[in-house]
Amino acid sequence: RDAVEWSWNLLHEVERAALAQLSAFRGGFAPEAAEAVLDLPAASALDVVQALVDKSLLRRYRHPALPDEIRLGLYEVVRDFAAGEIADAPGSRARHAAYYSARGEEWADAIDGPEGVASLRRLEVEADNLLAVCEPHDVDPAVAARAALAVGALRFFAGPYGPHLLL
């Protein structure tokens, strides 16, 4: 924790704001999701994200279910620290919830179409983010319900039912 705090104190203010806002994510996330959630005045979200990758506070990786896409992720200790700073990031949870509930709904609706397998993979990869929307915090219950329905579609088609029961 001390090492993370030391690194935090070395960051520029916009980087601290970005890291606090990115703590809304669970598991990994796509760069376009970061762009949708980050609200950084006078800064390019992707430039700030790249700076955080360069400083080893974010990691870049490929998920086995989506090998053609680059994903980003916070190390848990960094996410936990940055989540404590979320008061400096008003609205990031709401933007995260709006993004994932809308996208989750799109992916769930596409399951029956020609992109069904890809949509199931996407739902599986993003399940942690969809479930995070359902956690109790200041998110509109209708938005949380949309995310829960997307997870429900995943569980219906792909199982297992254990995480679904937690909703």
Contact 20, 92 (CB under 8 A): yes
Angle 156-163-158 from CA coordinates, rounded to 5°? 30
Q: How confident is the model at residue 166 (pLDDT cuts 50, 70, 90)?
A: very low
CB < 8 Å & 24+ apart, contacts of 79-86: 79/22, 79/23, 79/25, 80/23, 81/1, 81/4, 81/5, 81/8, 82/8, 82/19, 82/20, 82/22, 82/23, 83/20, 83/23, 85/8, 85/16, 85/19, 85/20, 85/23, 86/20, 86/21, 86/23, 86/24
Query: pLDDT higher for 43 or 146?
Result: 146
Nearest to 127 by CA among 163, 73, 79: 163
Residue 144's CB is within 10 A of a number of other CB atoms, namely: 20
For residue 71, how far is the Cα from the chain centroid? 10
**Is the model's pLDDT at 1 over the cut of 80?**
no
Q: Would you say residue 56 has pLDDT above 80?
A: yes
Give residue 87's pLDDT band: very low, low, confident or very high (50, 70, 90): low
Question: What pLDDT score was predicted for residue 162?
Answer: 44
Q: Is 153 exposed, middle or buried (0-12, 13-18, 19+ CB in 10 A)?
A: buried
Q: What is the mean pLDDT of the chain?
A: 87
The pLDDT assigned to 12 comes to 92
